[in-house]
Every structure is written in C-alpha cells, then in structure tokens.
Amino acid sequence: MFSFTSISQYHEQLYKGEVSCADAVNFYLKKIDDAKKLNAFVEVFASESMERAKQLDRKRERGETCGKLFGAVVAIKDVICYKDHKVTAASAILKNFTSLFNSTAVDHLLKEDAIIIGSCNCDEFAMGSTNENSSYGRVLNALSENKVPGGSSGGSAVAVQAGLCMVSLGSDTGGSVRQPADFCGIVGVKPTYGYVSRHGLIAYASSFDQIGVFANNVEDCAKVLGVIGGADNYDSTVNQQKRAALNINTTTETKYRIGILKNAIEHQSLDEEIKNSIYQLAKHLQKDHHEIEEVNFGLIDFIVPAYYVLTTAESSSNLARYDGVRYGYRNKTANDITSFYKKTRSEGFGKEVKRRIMLGTFVLSEGYYDAYFTKAQQIRRLLVNQTEELFKKFDIIILPTAPSTAFEAGKMQKDPVEMYLADIYTVYANLTGNPAISIPLFKHSNQMPFGVQAIAKKNDEVTLLQFADMLLKNYKQ
C-alpha cells in the first residue's frame, strides 16, 4: 500500500519500481474524497492529475531525465494562477474566473515534473486568520473540527495536515503560511520577500505578499522552495542574484547565536504554556552549547498597527481592479455607472474584504495620509533598521508563531480587532521582508499543537532551514 513520509523516500520507491506516480495520485484522490467535509479544496483536478501521473510514469520507464519534484503531488492556494483553471481568491467577485496564464511558481513546479492535484480554500483575497472568510465556507481543522485551521492559507495547511497531498503552496502577507502551519502542527515557511516571484499571485498587499510552502518536514520545504524561487523578468521585486543551494544537511556540530525577543515572550497576550515551552526550549539549546541571549525589542506594540495601516492601504488600491467591467461578477440591475460599481463591489466582496478596503481608503485619504500611512512607513523603516542591527549579532531570532493554539470556530468573527491583534508575532517578518518559519515542536494541554517561529536575516534561507531542521530532529516533544 502507498504511504508517504518525504519526497526523497517517495523518489526512492519510484526508482526502485515499488510504486508509480499513478499509485500516488490514486491514493491522494481517494483521501481527498474521504475528507470532503474538511472543505480544504475548492477544486480537484482528478482526471488531469491522473493523466499527468501516467505520462510521468512513461517518462521514467523510457529512462528520460526526471525533474527535481518528479511525481510530487502538490496543492496550490486559490490565489495562485494555473492556466485554464479557475482562480477565484475564494471570492464571489471572481466566481468561475479562469486563469489565462501560469504563475511563475506553477511554471517552475510543472517544469520539474510536479503534479498539481487541486486548488485549496482560503480566506477571501487572503484576508483573515481563520479561513472563515471564504465564499466556499470555512475550512475545518482535521485535528479538531470545532477549531479553525488558521488563515488565510487554511485549506493548503489542512491539505498537508490531513495527508491530502505531499506539499502545498500558500501565500503569506502577514503570517498566512506560518500561523496555519502552527495551528495544524506542520511546517510552514515564508521566504525572504523577493525570493519567489509574485507573478501570477493575486495581490493583497504587494510589498508584503510572498508565496510560501507547507510540508510535513523541513527537507520537503527546502526542495520546493529551491524549485519555485529564483530570478524572474515578470516581477521587478524578485532578487535576481544567484542563490546558494538550499542544502539542509544538518550536524550537531553547528552552533547558533540565537536571540529571543523578551518582550514578545513576556507579552500579556501570550498563552502561559506557550511561553514556558519556549523558555524550556531555550534552556535545552543553551545546554547544548548554542548561544542564547534575551533582547528587548521596543517597537513590538507598533507592529500590528503599522501592518494593518500599510496592508489595507495597498489592498484598497489592488482591489480597485475588481469592478465588474472586464471580468468577474457584475451586477445586472444597475442603470448608471455609479450604482453599477457600488452594487457589483457590495455584492461581490465579503464583509472582511470590504472592511479592509474601507480602512485602506481612509488611511490614504487627504488629511489622514500623513497621520497614518506616512507614519506607518516610518515605523516600517525603523523595524527594518533595528532588525538589521539584531542580525549583526545573531544568526536566528526565535519568538512564538501565535499567541494561542487554534481558536474556536466563530470566536474571532465576533471581534475583528481581536483577530488582528492575534497577528502580533507573524506580521513582523512581512514588514521587514525577512524569511521566517513555523516549526511544530509542542503539544498543549488542550491537545492542540503549537510551534516556535524562527526568523533569519534576508536571503539566508539556508541557515533558517538548517536551524529549523535541527530543532525538529532534536527537540520535538
């Protein structure tokens, strides 16, 4: 019977002839069908993925060179374009819209012989931390169905958590890969801003958005990141420089200089068990001769306000294109252009998206621009400067991924501000552009998983992934 632990193990089985790509796709299609109630997928490419698997099997039988992700079964978030497939950002305003091109990330996956099995549910336009803001309904956490899986990439996280694919892609604007990974007990990595092209990623906040990876282990994250990253002429924000191979052969001989953000760990919002677990981890690391030092980070209380001012401002601009004129949902009862725009956007967008568009429009408006938007940009600059200073001293910074384990379903819908404040630990890396990863190490007394978040200096994914791999292999409880 087919089973999966890692892409490397799967490739060994393939090349020994013990399994085929078709076996793998059959296995996952059956599991997806059995797990429909989780609502992780918005569309499954069943016949197409099976046909591709058979083509890849024939390719291997002919002795042709196989790609780095040969036969790997991948799911993608419903904000990533895949030519001739629907991409809706889980919004009614893009219902039944079909992509005209591949995103660069999808192109890279296909060139390296991956199999894309379906697109995953998410918060509408990637706005949310619970995956309850979707026109397709909420995604269920496979470990406890009355809990949320996190957001916005909740469907992609649950697809890996429940074993419905090998790896998946999400997008991370303020923690939308790392926080669901934390809530679901899997690995989730956001690379440096500009590591992966945003071409073909539906924009939320363009200076924050980055495609990330979910997997059951760090090695698979590294394999996928190594494939989807790289230079791209379609995205001017991509780092065009040649990068080091994501080699994560870890050794216990490697010792790290680790900074712990004390006022993040001591913050009043943090669950006591999470706080104690991170301090215990720090003690174990110190005992094993890693350098540990606590540092105060004075700007922590400015992080969430600055993030929401800047991202809502960018989203109000990015989402202006959804007007019903060229594509997507359009109201057919309006009799003038003003009411046409109003009705189309009011009916097409969900409550959370409308809330953020209105907030973004407000902070960009005359009389408030300098008080909010300009001030938030100044805070962002200070964050970047202070973070660069930290990484002159440390290899890694560790802090929580989220202030609690997975929320009860419906809890955050009653108070959006509480949901925004819950992003306190993840939005930091998006404001500064640093790579960050959530590593599943612990189990709470409420039986839900939680992890620790690690951040590295920009473009040092190698150190980040090696450190994460070391933690997962040596300190997982």
Annotated catalytic, 152? yes
Report helix angle 375-390 to 300-318, nearest 10.
130
Pick from 183, 185, 174: nearest CA to 147: 183
Single out the catalytic residue among 152, 277, 315, 404.
152
Q: Which of 135, 176, 277, 316 is catalytic?
A: 176
Which alpha helices (H) appear in 215-336, and where do they start and end?
Answer: 218-228, 262-265, 272-287, 300-318
Q: At 136, is the secondary structure helix, strand, or coil?
A: coil
How far apart, in whole angstroms, are the C-alpha atoms of residue 123 and residue 461? 27
Q: Which tokens go with 203?
A: 């924009």
HSE-CB at 212 with a 13 A cutoff on CA atoms is 40
Do residues 268 and 262 lie in contact, with contact meaning Cβ atoms separated by under 8 Å? no
Active site residue 176: yes
Around Cβ 310, how many Cβ atoms within 10 Å?
24
| CA atoms within 13 A of residue 458's CA, in its CB half-sphere | 15
Q: How far apart are CA 154 and CA 409, in angstroms?
A: 13
CA distance 94 to 178: 26
99 part of the active site: no
CA gap 33, 367 in Å, rounded:
53
Active-site annotation holder among 20, 49, 77, 168: 77
DSSP at 229: B
- Hey, which residues are catalytic here? 77, 152, 176
